[in-house]
Structure 1
Amino acid sequence: MSRPGAGPGTGPFLLGIRHHGPGSARAVRAALEQCRPAAVLVEGPPEADAIVHLADEEGMRPPVALLAHAADDPGRAAFWPLAEFSPEWVAIRWALARGVPVRFIDLPAAHTLALNGDDGERPTPDPADGASRTDPLAVLAAAAGYDDPELWWEDAVEHRRGADGGDALAPFAALADAMSELRTAFGEGDGSDGARDLVREAHMRLRIRDARRRFGDGIAVVCGAWHVPALAVKRTVTADRQALKGLPKVKAELSWVPWTHRRLSRRSGYGAGIDSPGWYGHLFHAPDRPLERWLTKVARLLRDEDFPVSSAHVIEAVRLAGTLAALRGRPLAGLTETTDAVRAVMCDGSDVPLALVRDRLVVGNVLGEVPDSAPATPLQRDLAGLQRSLRLKPEADARDRELDLRKDTDAARSRLLHRLRLLGVDWGEPVRPRGGTGTFRETWRLSWEPELAVRVAEASAWGTTVRAAATARAESLAAGAATLADVTALAEHCLLAGLPGALPTVMRALADRAALDTDVAHLAKALPALVRSVRYGDVRRTGVAALSEVAEGLAERVFVGLPAACAGLDADAAATMRGLVDEVHQAVALLAPEPAPDEDEAAGTGLRHRWAAVLGVLAGRDGLPGGIRGRAVRLLLDDGLLPGGHAARLMGLALSAGTEPAEAAAWIEGFLGSGGPGGMLLVHDERLLALVDDWLTGVPAGAFAGVLPLLRRTFSSFDQGTRRAVGQQIRRGGPGTGGTPPRGSGAGARLDEERAAAVLPTMRLLLGMTQQSACHRQRGAQR
């Protein structure tokens, strides 16, 4: 086969490139303009020949990727990503614009997926590029003293055009010679990656032969520079076919999917793993003065974020970047020099605004688009239609979206996001709302990652629409659920996702699990999700009568078994059970709310009364863990179900001299809880504070070290204002004194009356009081 650099009209022209390199992309475009090939062959899966024409459609905007997945196992997938500055993309667009045939020549995706599947990788993101994951241009750049391979390509290849007399093919000939030396040094078939390279190159040679028979010798081949020596060498057809004999194979389906700059910065597809796609895109599109244009972009971004950056900063940064490039022996400033200049001039040496520049510009947040005519599964098309109708456009950047479920559009958006999560397509992640905690409001963090296209393809096995697929998936999960809590969580998810068709199956599984499960902890853990489902049914106008009956029956079983389940627990198990008691308490409050004043007193309160009786048993039964007993007392106190002074009596018994200090400390921790209003309870109820104070001062010295961690954990959870208020209460004379400080001590012991009187004239002016009226007021007060 011919080597690069042959004159016009001969070939084939082997154009070795660096994947996702703007210098390579411009060099390929210049070479194609010079040699005008009859066909363009590109490294990629041959199955994509049928859809390559879509790259020229108006709706196609890179970055995009070819997605291949196994027809019977969509989770087994591979990507071939392409950006605007990818040489392969430039070659494809050049050929389609001129009516020149385009063919892909790499190993078929059918073999690639089968081979990677044997390695146990699901999904398989790295089907291309070789050199045992080594970037050959990086090796050459390092040998030349460069730390940036693309900058070396710019200096060594792009800037040699004048020396080569304008021959656009000369740099590729020089690069091919360098690759030959590297392959000799590194070896061609060592390791699993090298062995696969030999197989791929055998297939490439066969495809090049087929193209020469059809289009003649005047063809151009765009491939990784590492492969050029192997494609230029002569091999027999028999030898190449023998290399492909016996390869595993699966049925593969290919489509175009959107890609992102952020995903290009990872090591995937073509093995490039470029760190600065935004910078590369700028270099490729800048018509002239790339340094000045880039620093202007940086200044605009920083100004938009309220950093004081002016035109003078841009000028100074350009000068500094040029000076750094000259000192480092480089003809042009690269990303390293511009970053150093931005840090010094625009960021005052801080890396905080520099991180913003890297995220927004150096990497970038570009998300590609594919036309509607691109191949897609029915589920993908249904999802795309829902995204358009609900105005939920996929975006690469994470964005918070607040939904008001009382509005039909927002409710439909919520159902879609919940259905996708049920299918494993985590486009949105629920987050805590910034304001309000009502069940009618949701906040989602949306971020579309390219891998979600694989998840959508994989979910196509469940149905042709999002609703049908989510329903089938929910029914399957209900049948295979391992625990009762899994089924109740699934029931909650079905209501959130608006899947009434799945509820009968889920309810049957729920009833079966609830009847067989006798573990009170399991029942208590399952109850809150079930009760939330009942509440969600109210706000989403979903019928949940059957679900409410199951929840009430589950609650009754918890009430019966909870006291016995709390006995004989160690410290960790007691802490877990205490948390379950809290969750059951909240669930009962949701399931049986207190009746309105004008409603029947007995309506809806049966569960609440029975639960209060259970809490009373937990609060007064000896032998139960102190944390659980203390928590039960606190819950009863908060609900106003303890008579006056009864909480103090229970605390006094728990903190009596006969109680082990560690058990007493656990009781206090359970009673006060973690944060919340527990500390203010001590501020406003001096009897409780006195009991805690008396117990704490009476703890023996030898036992104090053992109870200190529990006390520290309890009191450190209160906010600073609460801790200060408790401290001031103690300082003013301690509990039981009515807050009256002893004479000569406390906050009011040293009142300076002369200094206090000095502020009176100012206060009178502020209040509009004359001196005479103030005196009258003072005499009246004295009378």
Structure 2
Amino acid sequence: MPERFYGIRHHGPGSARAVVAALDEQRPDILLVEGPPEADTLVKWVADERLVPPVALLGYVADDPRQAAYWPFAVFSPEWQAIRWAADHGVPVRFFDLPYAYRLAVEDEPADRPERPADPIGELAAAAGYDDPERWWEDVVEHRGAPAFEAIGEAMAAIRAESAEDPADLVREAHMRGVLREVRKTHANPAVVCGAWHVPALTAKVTAAHDTALLKGRKKAKVTFTWVPWTYGRLASWQGYGAGVRSPGWYHHLFTTPDEVVTRWLVAAAGVLREEGVPTSSAHVIEAIRLAEALATLRGRPLAGLAELTEATRSVLCEGDELRVDLIGRQLVVSERLGSIPDDMPAVPLARDLAAQQRTLRLKPEALERALDLDLRRDLDLGRSRLLHRLRLLGVAWGEPADRAGGKGTFRESWRLRWVPEFAISLVEAGGYGTTVVTAATAKVAEQARAAESLAEVTPLVEACLLADLPDAYPAVLHALDTRAALDADVAHLMGAVPPLARTLRYGDVRGSDVAGLRTVTSGLVARICAGLPGAVTSLADEAAQPLRNHVDAVHAALAMLDDEPGAVAAQEPAQAERAPRSLRDRWLEALDGLAGSDRTHPLIAGRVTRLLYDGDRLDAAETRRRMGLVLTAGTPPSDAAQWVEGFLAGGGLLLVHDTALLSLVDEWLAGVAADSFTDVLPLLRRTFGTFAEPERRSIGERVRGGAVAASPAPIGLDHERAASVLPTLGILLGREIHHVSE
């Protein structure tokens, strides 16, 4: 019996059913399937019930895993069903496409080669008068049972006769014909399952010499293959997969539902809506079924297709709400189903270690995004957190932090988890760093530390070692940190390094990490900052003052977490105060005191450090008022005074609410600003007061209006009409209306 060719549509459920029926009739003695022959040894796993589609064959270059390709299979893929049939009937299977090792060389050819029609099925649909290839295929194949393989082959031959040949296809088909010639020598009844596009080329009369000439001189790379889980989302054509379909979830339903296709689909759609709290009754479902079937009848279709079901769903179940339609589209039409593979599947050691940890930590990969809240006081959640952080360091972003709570030192972390098939190749790439997740992450962090060229590149690695619990990476990271800090003379860079270091020191105990070696480095860094700050704030341009003020605030907040340092505690004992080492916070506050008292300090920075000293009980109220009074005098340029006030009040408006004397100073200074300078000062003050909370602005306004602030003596001959002209501006500044000068 001569071989038979089954030209199929990749991932077509109708083709899948038809191929199985045809194989039952033919009973071939060997099955040839379009696919990479390097994966022949993996065919046996298809018979394993633990290999659950959607899955994909992953092929990659052993020396460069970034060069990789996937061959996806769904349960409704004709190739998958053909291989399963062969496994059930003891029939040998061979993939007979051009080896992937050769195709790498083919793909290096010029990109301007002629291309075949983007969608041959679309060509047939257009010839039949359809504007939608999916609908044509559903009508002709999916809803009518077995397709006419011979007729489809003839149609493809007609399309190919009018299309330019693709050199890559010609090479692939030459290899396929060579395999066919070889198989014919040993088997009398082979079956061939391949894309319908290739059937005319495989049945054409072409000499072996012609094919040999096409294949001559092809390069070959060393490649490795394995099975990996896949998702229906990645099977969809809108993800860039050329052989994909737009609605894999719908095709899964078509293939796995033996009867009542329309009814079962709409019942499932109603279930999706109910899970989201949308009331959907059985009456809704009945009416939607009637509408879908009526539309199919009017359009002359043998069965309501996805288009009719979507319209019925939109009109009846969703009542025109497109958000609900989109929800059903995501969960049913696409259906982010994730396949699975056996635990003992051949894989890189790193992938096997990750699989073992996923089982131990009860953290199952899922295609749909889900939230995960962790309590780091529980060993299980702490282990999950460390695994997710380690994977992120390896470029496997399975989990994305929903917030930075873990970095802020709380016992809780929130994550968004979503597994995508591409992580398989990321694990292959990361496998060069180690055979386990922890050793690979340690090696990669150490490599990054050694390669870092600036302090800003090293600092995040310190916190990464804490979050991922990589104690063996600390020596390399701390050495790099010490070296880069010693070479970096930019105080802003040094200040930017302090917050993550302080968090690591303060919260290392929360995660059970040993961070003792970091304290010396941090202490030296703070000492260098304190020594360099006076020079950094001298002759500082206005545009550079704001970023530096932000650095000052960040360092101040970070060191506030370390005020329980052993030296600080010891200094609280009077008898030992003289010989006890100062805490990092003490050194920092002394440096700020020097900045506040220097007339060379930029006014924005001077005002800010004065406020920090006041809040830190290093300045009492009387001294603070004295310093503000010195600034808010006629001898100080109004713009400088406004910047000082902006820096001082950046901590919030409650200080002015509770300290009437300070409010009086600001009020008197504001009243005395000359008219020609007021318009320059106003934007700065408006920006400052605009940061206050509404209750704070209201309280300040009420105090000013109620006379709680000591009013300056009215100048002789006050022009009330002219004075009233500034009331709208003053009202904007204080955040409330002022109707009379007396207010």
> Fold conserved (TM > 0.5)?
yes
Secondary structure at 1:67 match in 2: strand
From 195, 201, 206, the counterpart of 2:178: 206
Letter in 1 for 2:174: A
Aligned 8 A contact 1:261 1:367 in 2:
yes
Q: Which residue of 2 aligns with 1:741?
A: none
- Which residue of structure 2 aligns with residue 600 of structure 1? 573
Letter of the structure 2 residue corresponding to residue 186 of structure 1: S
Counterpart mapping for 1:58-207 below 5 A: 58-116=49-107, 132=116, 134-159=118-143, 168=146, 171-188=148-165, 194-207=166-179
Residue 427 (1) aligns with residue 398 (2): yes
Distance 1:704 1:139 in 2: 74
- For 1:20-419, list aligned pairs within 5 A: 20-116=11-107, 132=116, 134-159=118-143, 168=146, 171-188=148-165, 194-216=166-188, 218-265=189-236, 271-419=242-390
Answer whether contact 2:608 2:647 (CA < 8 A) is retained: yes
Q: Secondary structure at the match of 2:347?
A: coil
User: Do the aligned partners of 2:117 and 2:163 also contact (CA within 8 Å) in 1?
Assistant: no
SS in 2 for 1:215: coil
Question: Structure 1 stretch 303-312 or stretch 134-143: which is displaced more?
Answer: 134-143
Residues 227-274 of structure 1 show CA distances to partners (whole Å, capped at 9, x for unaligned) of: 222222122222212222222321000000111122222556862343
Go from structure 1 to structure 2 and tell me whether the alpha carbon gap of 1:686 and 1:213 turns closer, same or farther (over 3 Å shift). farther
Q: Which secondary structure does the structure 2 equivalent of 1:214 belong to?
A: coil
Q: 1:566 to 1:212 in 2, by over 3 A?
A: farther
Match of residue 579, structure 1, among 527, 537, 550: 550
Task: Say what the alpha-carbon RMSD is for the aligned residues.
Answer: 3.2
**Distance 1:658-1:131 versus aligned 2 partners, 3 A rule:** farther
| 1:164 equivalent in structure 2 | none
**Which residue is 2:719 aligned to?**
none
Distance 1:436 1:412 in 2: 16
Residues in 1 aligned to 2:637 and 2:405: alpha-carbon distance in whole angstroms:
44
Distance change (3 Å), C-alpha of 1:570 and 1:13: farther
Structure 1 residue 699, shift from structure 2 partner? 6.2
Alignment partner for residue 678 of structure 1, among 649, 652, 655? 652
Distance in 2, matches of 1:649 and 1:266, equals: 72
- CA separation in 2, counterparts of 1:198 and 1:335? 36
C-alpha deviations, 1:77-98, integer Å up to 9, x for none? 1111111111211111111111
Residues 298 and 729 (structure 1 numbering): CA distance in 2 closer, same or farther, change over 3 Å?
farther
Does the Cα contact within 8 Å between 2:62 and 2:222 map onto a contact in 1?
yes
Give the superposition deviation at 1:306: 1.0
Partners of 2:627 and 2:117 lie apart in 1 by: 70
d(CA) in 1 for partners of 2:378 and 2:681? 53
Residues 322 and 612 of structure 1: is their aligned pair in 2 closer, same or farther, counting only changes over 3 Å?
same
SS state at 2:228 partner: strand
Partner Cα distance (1:280, 1:693) in 2: 74
| Corresponding residue for residue 481 of structure 1 | 452
Mapped partners of 2:486, 2:360: distance in 1? 43
Q: Which letter does structure 1 place at the counterpart of 2:547?
A: T
Contact 2:97–2:172 (Cα < 8 Å) also in 1: yes
Within 2, Cα distance between the matches of 1:707 and 1:147?
66
Matching residue within 464, 484, 502 for 2:435: 464
For 2:550 and 2:42, the matched residues in 1 are separated by 57
The structural deviation recorded for 1:635 is: 2.0
CA contact (8 A) 1:669 1:714 kept: yes
Percent identical among aligned pairs is: 55
What one-letter code is carried by the residue in structure 2 that aligns with 1:54? W
Q: Does 1:636 align with 2:609?
A: no
**How far did 1:21 drift?**
2.1
- C-alpha deviation, 1:680, in angstroms: 3.5
Number of equivalences: 706
1:642 positional shift: 2.1
Task: Report how far residue 144 of structure 1 moved.
Answer: 3.5
Distance across 1 between alignment mates of 2:629 and 2:249? 68
Deviation at 1:105, TM superposition (A): 1.4
- In the superposition, the TM-score normalised over structure 1's length comes to 0.83
What's the TM-score once normalised by structure 2's chain length? 0.87
Rounded to whole Å, the distance in 1 between the matches of 2:104 and 2:232 is 25
CA contact (8 A) 2:32 2:191 kept: yes
The one-letter code matched in structure 2 to 1:210 is E
Residue 185 of structure 1 and its aligned partner are, at CA, apart by 2.6
Give the equivalent residue in structure 1 for 2:595.
Answer: 618
Structure 2 Cα separation of the partners of residues 485 and 472 of structure 1: 20
Query: Amino acid of the residue matched to residue 33 of structure 2?
Result: V
After superposing the two structures, state which structure 1 stretch, 262-271 or 516-525, moved more: 262-271
How far apart are the structure 2 equivalents of 1:636 and 1:240? 85
Does residue 567 of structure 1 match 2:551? Answer: no
Partner residue in 1 for 2:514: 543
CA–CA distance in structure 2, aligned partners of residues 333 and 650 of structure 1: 82
How far apart are 1:551 and its partner, in Å?
A: 0.5
Kindly provide the CA deviation profile for residues 422-460 of structure 1, in whole angstroms up to 9, marking residues without a partner as x.
222222222326899643332222221111111111111
Query: Which amino acid is the alignment partner of residue 203 of structure 1?
Result: H
AA matched with 1:149:
P
SS of the equivalent of 2:186 reads helix
Q: Which residue of 2 aligns with 1:532?
A: 503
Offset at residue 358 of structure 1 (A): 1.9
Counterparts in 2 of 1:237 and 1:349: CA distance versus 1, 3 Å = same
445-454 vs 434-443, which moves further? 434-443
Deviations 1:403-432 (A, max 9, x none): 222322222222222222222222222232
Kindly provide the amino acid, as one letter, of the partner of residue 600 in structure 1.
E
Asked if the contact 1:325–1:332 (Cα under 8 Å) also holds between the matched residues in 2, the reply is yes
> How far 1:541 sits from its partner (Å)?
2.8
Change (3 A) 1:357 1:377: same
Label 1:586 to 1:159 Cα distance change in 2 as closer, same or farther (>3 A). Answer: closer
Per-residue CA deviation, residues 272-315 of structure 1 (Å, 9 max, x unaligned), is 34332212211211112212111111111111211111111111
Q: Secondary structure at the match of 1:183?
A: helix
Counterpart CA distance in 2 for 1:571 and 1:366 is 56
Question: What is the aligned counterpart of 1:517 among 469, 488, 508?
Answer: 488
2:185 maps to amino acid? R
Gaps of 5+ in 2: 712-734, 737-743
Q: Compared with structure 1, are the counterparts of its residues 714 and 132 closer, same or farther at alpha carbon in structure 2 (3 Å cutoff)?
A: farther
Q: Which range is displaced more, 409-418 or 256-265? A: 409-418
Secondary structure of 1:41's partner? Answer: strand
Cα distance change on mapping 1:267 and 1:359 into 2, 3 Å: closer
- 1:328 positional shift: 4.3
Residues 206 and 672 of structure 1: is their aligned pair in 2 closer, same or farther, counting only changes over 3 Å?
farther
Counterpart AA for 2:137: W
Q: 1-side partners of 2:58 and 2:342: how far apart?
A: 15
Question: Distance in 2 between the 1:74 and 1:108 partners?
Answer: 17
> Greater CA deviation, 30-39 or 139-148?
139-148
Change (3 A) 1:231 1:598: same
CA 1:100–1:439: 2 relative to 1, 3 Å: same
Alignment CA distance shift 1:157-1:390 (3 Å)? closer
Structure 2 CA distance, aligned partners of 1:212 and 1:726?
95
Secondary structure of 2:58's match?
strand
Q: What letter matches 1:265 in structure 2? A: A
Residues 70 and 113 in structure 1, CA contact (< 8 A), matched pair in contact too:
no
Q: CA separation of 1:210/1:663 partners in 2, compared to 1, >3 Å: closer, same or farther?
A: farther
